[in-house]
Each structure stands twice: as structure tokens, then as C-alpha cells.
Amino acid sequence: MNATLPSDGPRPGPFGSGQPAPTAMQTAPHHPPFRRRAALPLAGLALVAPALLSVLVFFVLPLAASVEGAFRTPEGRGLANFVKLAELYRADILFTLLIVGLSTLLTGLIATAIAGYLTLGQNPRAVAILRWLYRWPLFIPFVVTAQIMRTFLAKSGMLNASLSTLGLADAATLGSWLDWRGIVLAFVWKQTPFVTLLLAGAMAALDRGTIEAARNLGASRFRVLWDIVLPQAARTLMTGLILSFVTMMSVLSVPLMINAQSPTMITADIAFRINAYGDYGVANALGVVSLLMTGAFAILYLRLGLRERR
């Protein structure tokens, strides 16, 4: 609104205050060098070229080669790899979708709860402690997360020990949690801080008045979160969840360490196809399926971004 205010900096005009009266020589107007603009497109292209080339050589070409490899069979181009994939890994593809979908949902719920408390919490000490605590998993790699979960969720792990100590369950009947539940737990544990970070930032940037106006009208804090805060931060939440979904789709260490038996996730299958059989064809086909799944979300993300800019 105040963009038209003149700047405080020195003016380009030759009659600035305190300057001596200009002589005839000095009064010639000093035009900005418009002509240089003409050379810009080429110069710009030259500046962009290295980055563009890197993207082409290191990203687009390998991706294209991988996609092309999915259709390459000993008998020439064909869909044989996909037929094999459908036979062997249909369950795993569904399993992957369900696990990552459930993890994304839980991540969204917990991140909303944490970010909501950070925004609306009234106990400053509790808010400060939560703000300090929740980020820790951000700095722990997936493989270490999986390692932590292995010791935590094993049959004789900390979770079962705690449950039986508290008398909530009998240690003898408790089994290992290292199946799909373990993967979901590891994913949610690792991804929640990331989504919370984005979401809490968006919530903190809201006009506090919109929150206070609802409180003032009699809305509880939960109602304020649901009716006022979340709708205004929904796009950021969606962005965080989409990025999270794509990240989880690409994690190998967690399914490999927590649950490598059938059914498992696509990433573990790809690794297995390559390491055990040297079967790049089916591995590439699995990659294409994974790409299609994340691609759908990437399109969603781009559309959100476009709407935001409007």
C-alpha cells in the first residue's frame, strides 16, 4: 500500500539539496544505460546454461533411461517386466500405498495437534518445551530412526517391557511390533516434525486477531483450531503432507530394517530385484510405478502452488 512512497536514499536528480548550483556542463541529463538490456537474453542464457545442463545430464537423462529400461526385455521392447511385476508385487504396491497413506494421515493429524498447541497453547512453559522437543527427529536420519524402532519395538524391546511393567499387557503374549505397524511408526515419528515445522510457521504467520475474534465470540481452542486456524493454513499442511508422502515413498532403510518379509514396500523390492537377481528390468518397472504414484502427488503440489500464487 505504501509502495509509492519516495525512498530516503539519494535522488538521481542533479539538483539535490546542499549541492552547488549546476554548471552548464553538469546539467546534461544522465540517462540509465538502456542499450545494455538488448544483450540480456544471451547473457541470461549463458548464466542459466550450466544449471540447465546439469539438470539434463544428471537428472532428466538417467530418469529417461530408467523409464526406458522398464520396457526393455531380452526379447526387445515390451511389457513383460510389468506383467512380471503384476504377478509378483501387486500386494506390495497396495501395501506401500496403504502404509504411506496411513503414515501421511497420521502425520497430518499429529502435526496439526502439535502446531495447533504451539499456536494456541496458553501455558508458555509447555509451549516452549514442546517447541524445543518436537524438532529432534528432523535431525535423525531414516536409517537411525529404523534402528531406534528396531530396539524399541522388538519382541523383548522397550515398548513391550514398558507395557508389561505398567501391567497393561502380559509380556508372554506380546509379539513383535516389527511389521507394518513398525514402518508406520517410524515414518510418522520421522515426518511429523517436518510437517509440524511448516504448519506451525504458517499458523504463526496468521493475523492473531482472527484467532482472538473467534475466542472472543466464545469458541474453545479446539474450535478455533478447526474453524479458523486450520482452514487458513490448509494449503501449507497439504504441501507438507505431499512432500512427506514423496519422501516416505523413497525410503529404503525403514522397510528393509523393520519388515523385509512379504508384503513389504516397493523400495525394498527394487533393492532386492537388483541385488539378488541383477534384474534391472523389473526394478525399473517398479520404479515407474513408484514414479506414477509420487507423480500424482507432485501434480497436486504444483496445482496448489499455482493457486497460491494467484
Residues contributing to the site for another protein (CB under 8 A)? 207, 209-210, 212-220, 223, 227-228, 231-232
Instruction: Output the smallest distance, CB 310 to another protein, in A.
Output: 12
Rg for the chain (alpha carbons), in Å?
28
Measured from the CB atom, the residue of 51 and 217 that comes closer to another protein is 217
Measured from the CB atom, the residue of 3 and 42 that comes closer to another protein is 3
Instruction: Output the smallest distance, CB 122 to another protein, in A.
Output: 8
Q: Apex CA 183: angle with CA 179 and CA 188, to 5°?
A: 145
CA distance 253 to 260: 10
Query: What does each C-alpha distance from 4 to 1, 7, 16, 42, 119 come to in angstroms?
Result: 8, 9, 20, 33, 35
192 within 8 A of 185, measured Cβ to Cβ: no
Measured from the CB atom, the residue of 27 and 210 that comes closer to another protein is 210
Q: Per residue in 185-213, is it b (16+ CB within 10 Å) or e — as a string?
A: bbbbbbbbbbbbbbbbebbeeeeeeebee
Task: Tell me if residue 205 falls in helix, strand or coil.
Answer: coil
Measured from the CB atom, the residue of 110 and 228 that comes closer to another protein is 228
Instruction: Output the smallest distance, CB 218 to another protein, in A.
Output: 5
DSSP state of 229: I
Instruction: Output the smallest distance, CB 71 to another protein, in A.
Output: 46
Instruction: Output the smallest distance, CB 219 to another protein, in A.
Output: 6
Instruction: Output the smallest distance, CB 229 to another protein, in A.
Output: 10
Measured from the CB atom, the residue of 181 and 223 that comes closer to another protein is 223
Measured from the CB atom, the residue of 8 and 207 that comes closer to another protein is 207
